[in-house]
Amino acid sequence: MKKKMSSSKSPKSVSTKGRARTKRAGKRPGRGAQPKGITWELRLYVAGNTPNSIAAFSNLKQICETHMGGRYRIEIIDLLRSPQLAGGDQIIAIPTLVRRLPTPIKKIIGDLSNTERVLIGLDLKPALKS
């Protein structure tokens, strides 16, 4: 006679510590989830045509083309021409990238040369390499 093995624990009493959690209805997607159909609104604060400003724009353009699939809009704000615009986004250093959409607002300071850090800062999932 064979005995059936049965678990004495009900599913409710099983610990979930160290396991991935399932998504719940009504929650925002987790890190790296890219909202479908959303156009990313980005502002890049620079100070003229300095090497750091040029590098930041070039790096940002490359990241957007590779990881956002054409669903982005970049607004360049030159603080040498319009310094009063720095107050709206509380800019304390340049170059600074501000992600306006999707919310929440995120800021990244620097020339954006470290792609991995920029992707993490923007909550972007890296594009698959082909």
- For residue 10, the model assigns a pLDDT of 36
- For residue 31, the model assigns a pLDDT of 40
Q: How far apart are CA 44 and CA 75, in angstroms?
A: 6
Sequence spans of domains, the chain: 37-121
pTM given for the model: 0.69
Q: What's the CATH number of domain 37-121, 3.40.30.10, 3.40.718.10, 3.90.1640.10, 3.40.50.880? A: 3.40.30.10
- Span 88-125, pLDDT tens digits: 889 999 999 999 999 999 999 999 999 999 999 999 87
Confidence of residue 76 (pLDDT cuts 50, 70, 90): very high
